[in-house]
A and B are shown apart, each in its own frame.
Chain A
Amino acid sequence: MKVRIATPLLSYTGAREVEAQGGTVGELLDDLERRHPGLRFRMVDEQNRIRPHMRVFVNREAVRGLDAPLAPDDDVQILQALSGG
């Protein structure tokens, strides 16, 4: 499936939209990590929690956990809510 990538992660993917596979958000991120090493830890901590300010939207609905299911034709967007000076 196509995954839309937040600009702060562009140094890993080189593109705003990339291909990845997975039956859950966690599996999708694992596949993204295989394709773009280093990306996962910048957005998910070592306790498998999506970091604050990182947002994953599936079909424009926010999901919070890595166990959220995905279907092959889902629209996935990884966004970041920037704040601070």
Chain B
Amino acid sequence: MPEPARGPLALLVATKKGAFVLRADAARREFALEGPHFLGHIVNHLVLDRRDRRTLLCAARTGHLGPTIFRSDDLGKSWKEAAQPPAFPTSDPSARTVKHTFWLEPGHASERGVWYAGVSPQALFRSEDSGDTWTPVSGFNDHPRWFEWTGKGQDGTPDGSILHSINVDARDARHLYVGLSSGGVFESTDGGADWHPLNGGLFADFNPEPYPEYGQDPHCMRLHPQAPDVLWQQSHCGIYRIERPASRWERVGDHMPREVGDIGFPITLHPRDPRTAWVFPMDGTQVWPRTSPGGRPSVYVTRDAGASWQRQDEGLPRENAWLTVLRQAMTADAHDPIGLYFGTTCGELWSSLDEGASWRRLRSHLPHVYAVEAAELEP
């Protein structure tokens, strides 16, 4: 396992109205806010290249201008727009267009400059020049079963169907996992040339066949960076874990308290312990309020691979707090003890420096938070 991080930290916050960076020293007690960057843009994801610790990519659009990627090679002091943002070929027989880029992911440690982007509709793009130019991953986007897997690109979130949760195996740059909302989990072992579903055991209560080959709705899937056979998933229908080469997911959310359930958007992993994960449950009953169950928000942690879960709400509001934390909006840093962070759709940013045992509010009154990333900076 790697040594814990000991340097300064930046929280990269993507919101409906722009991006913000909150910087802290290694103690992580005080966070200074920088921004907004791209005020008025809908920013879905702001991500640091963990390989060079300098390059930032920002997935942005406005309500009316087309989607693009902004790049910074000086941690946000200056920005340039991608010369060729993700776009389908003009010759695309279905005349597909990229509605927005939802997920940005640096490639394998051995492939400097490689990035992946997941977009709406569910499609994958790759850059080999640190995000300046992007090309479609044709093996997925033009797969003969793409229309089956994606529901013709129509079945998705209210903001559109998306490809998200791009995970690269730390052992093998050619081994990739992605999540589709909707569509399920898909795996490639040849660098994206071919793909197959990986949805055994995943429930889909919105499907006439409750355990289909594909068509599920994984909300957030994380591959453990140090134990790359371990995948966790918070889906539309439960919390799951799998240890490859098994092909059947186990619903570890069955061990959550019944009155809370195991529906939510995000899942966050401990960077050094593949048996520890955190979730932020939401109300998935009836019309799906997608707020904290009963108005009492809490994080839940498991330290035994999902066999048991403990409530962690010290410092959080105890009543009348109807929070929603979206799938990219909860994260962990790599310090010891690790810091946990989440942002809400009502513009709050919360942190815990004791692995979830207690929480404090870092910021209020930000715009609707879409994503929070913890970026370890150079000491």
Contact = CB atoms under 8 A, between A and B. Distances in A.
Given A37-B83, A47-B97, A42 B66 contact: yes
A16 interface: no
A83 B62 CA distance: 11
A1 interface: no
Interface residues of A, number: 22
Given A37-B83, A46-B97, A47-B95, A80 B90 contact: no
Contact of B63 (A37, A48, A83): A83
Interface residues of B, number: 18
Interface in B76-118: 81, 83, 85, 87-90, 92, 95-98
A66 interface: no
Contacts of B95: 47
B81 A47 contact: no
Interface string B280-321: 000000000000000000000000000000000000000000
A46 B65 contact: no
Contacts of A45: 66, 87, 97-98
B97 A38 contact: no
Contacts of A47: 88, 90, 92, 95-97
A72 interface: no
Q: Majority SS of interface residues in chain B?
A: loop
Contact of A8 (B65, B68, B83, B96): B65
B64 interface: yes
A52 B90 contact: no
A45 B97 CA distance: 7
A46 B89 contact: yes
Contacts of A53: 63-64
Q: Majority SS of interface residues in chain A?
A: loop
Contacts of A83: 63-64
B64 A46 contact: no
Nearest to A37: B83
Contact of A41 (B63, B87, B92): B87
Contacts of A8: 62, 64-65
Contacts of B68: 38, 41-42
Contacts of B88: 46-47
A48 B87 CA distance: 12
Nearest to B63: A84
A84 B61 CA distance: 14
Contact of A82 (B64, B81, B83, B85): B64
A42 B81 CA distance: 11
B367 to A, nearest CB: 11
Interface in A14-73: 37-38, 41-49, 51-54
A43 B66 contact: yes
Contacts of A54: 64
A70 B108 CA distance: 49
A82 B97 contact: no
B346 to A, nearest CB: 15
**B81, B85, B88, B90 — which one has the most chain A CB atoms within 10 A of its CB?**
B81
Interface of A: 8-9, 37-38, 41-49, 51-54, 80-84
22 contacts: A8-B65, A37-B81, A37-B83, A38-B68, A38-B81, A38-B83, A41-B68, A41-B85, A44-B66, A45-B66, A45-B87, A45-B97, A46-B90, A46-B97, A46-B98, A47-B97, A51-B64, A51-B65, A51-B66, A53-B64, A83-B64, A84-B63
The 7 closest A-B pairs by CB, nearest first: A46-B87, A53-B64, A42-B65, A45-B97, A38-B81, A42-B66, A47-B95
